Amino acid sequence: MQNYLKFLDVYIGAKCNLACFQCDTRSDIIKTKKDDPELKEITDGIALAWKHFDIEYYSMLGGEALLYLDRIENIMKFIREYDKTGKIIIPTNGATLSKNFKRLKELLTAYDASLFICNHYAGFNDLKLSNNVRKSAIDFIEYMDLTKSDNDKFLKDMLDQDNIRQDPGLESFLNNKDPMTLSSSDLVYTNGTFHVWFRDQEYFQSSYYFNNDNQPKPFMTGNPEQSYMNGCCSLMCSFLYNKKLYKCAALGTLRNFLKYHDSLEDIDWQKYLNYTPLDLENCTIEETTKFSNTKYNSVSECDMCPASSQNFRKTEDKVLPIKFHKSKI
């Protein structure tokens, strides 16, 4: 049996219209497209990943996807040349959704791609922006003429809660992790082929903290398994960046983050900087199998994150770019 990845997060670039604190792709601190990977580097990485793994879901991770629609179309076209049946996800914060109905309809229809709308305004005291995103989502669902999906079935199928592949790693994961559920505010609609899923993201998970000198620090829990099960925000997702696969986006973008904070030499971060991703150009069968076998459990570097949930509410000052909330002081 070919080695298997459930979710492949394809890094498309960092630019975002928001600045969410603790963003695991560091779009809170990297605000331009200047250091984005070249399109060919991305597609070459996908081809290499597809060579080594059976991939169930491809997710376009950034950065705000709706700022990269031309690039995403090229990537999805490339994926469909290799993989006719793999599921493609375009995640968005929905802030500019209302301006992109026609373009998105074309893309979702042409490439059987699903749209996941994550409302980052849901924790604000003033719900005007949150309500606007929800309205845009509902209007888009109507524009697409979609039918309400059974939320439980949607989640069960997406997470493969029946473990159709009989994957022992997934079986153990499902037995040890509290089941994910959808809230009453979630909207899931479908045309039978792809989905549009709207959810409110009131809280976010911390992957580091600041010490008294305002320097970022890893949690260094010494218990990677607990950190993975209780403090991870990307439990099932592998991160593709620069033709390499990382356990998660937080590890894949760590060097960029520490460079920004002038912390590359900090001794506490060296273990995590020394994490070895899977080099898709040079990896062995044994290395790909090892990577595949850890997709539902921890690696040593998982103890970078907290061993218990460190959720925080996504208030205005933790989501909006500083120019917006500074103007209100």
User: What number is the average pLDDT over the span 106-125?
Assistant: 97
Residue 324 pLDDT level (bands cut at 50, 70, 90): low
Cβ proximity of 25 and 253 under 8 Å = yes
Distance CA(205)–CA(311), nearest Å, equals 4
Q: What is the mean pLDDT of the chain?
A: 94
Distance CA(101)–CA(135), nearest Å, equals 13
Is the model's pLDDT at 115 over the cut of 90? Answer: yes
Residue 163 pLDDT level (bands cut at 50, 70, 90): confident
Other CB atoms within 10 Å distance of the CB of residue 224: 20
Domain, as residue range, for 112: 4-326
pLDDT score, position 325: 45
Is the model's pLDDT at 222 over the cut of 90? Answer: yes
Cβ proximity of 240 and 290 under 8 Å = no
User: What number is the average pLDDT over the span 166-182?
Assistant: 85
User: What number is the average pLDDT over the span 66-74?
Assistant: 98
Is the model's pLDDT at 237 over the cut of 70? Answer: yes
Q: Sort 153 into a burial class: Cβ within 10 Å, 0-12 / 13-18 / 19+.
A: exposed
Establish how many alpha carbons lie within 13 A of residue 84's alpha carbon, considering only the half-sphere containing its beta carbon.
Answer: 0
User: What number is the average pLDDT over the span 143-169?
Assistant: 91
Distance CA(310)–CA(306), nearest Å, equals 7
Establish how many alpha carbons lie within 13 A of residue 166's alpha carbon, considering only the half-sphere containing its beta carbon.
Answer: 1
If one counts the domains in the chain, the total is 1
Measured CA to CA in angstroms, residue 2 lies from 49, 232, 285 at distances of 12, 26, 10
Residue 131 pLDDT level (bands cut at 50, 70, 90): very high
pLDDT score, position 323: 60
Strands, DSSP E only, in 13-110?
54-61, 87-92
Q: What tokens appear for 71 in the block?
A: 């690039």
Distance CA(175)–CA(229), nearest Å, equals 12
Helix ranges restricted to H, 145-280: 151-158, 168-176, 224-231, 249-252, 254-260, 270-273
User: What number is the average pLDDT over the span 298-313?
Assistant: 95
- pLDDT per position as a tens digit, 244-275: 999 999 999 999 999 999 999 999 999 999 99
- pLDDT per position as a tens digit, 44-60: 999 999 999 999 999 99
N-terminal to C-terminal alpha carbon distance within the chain: 59
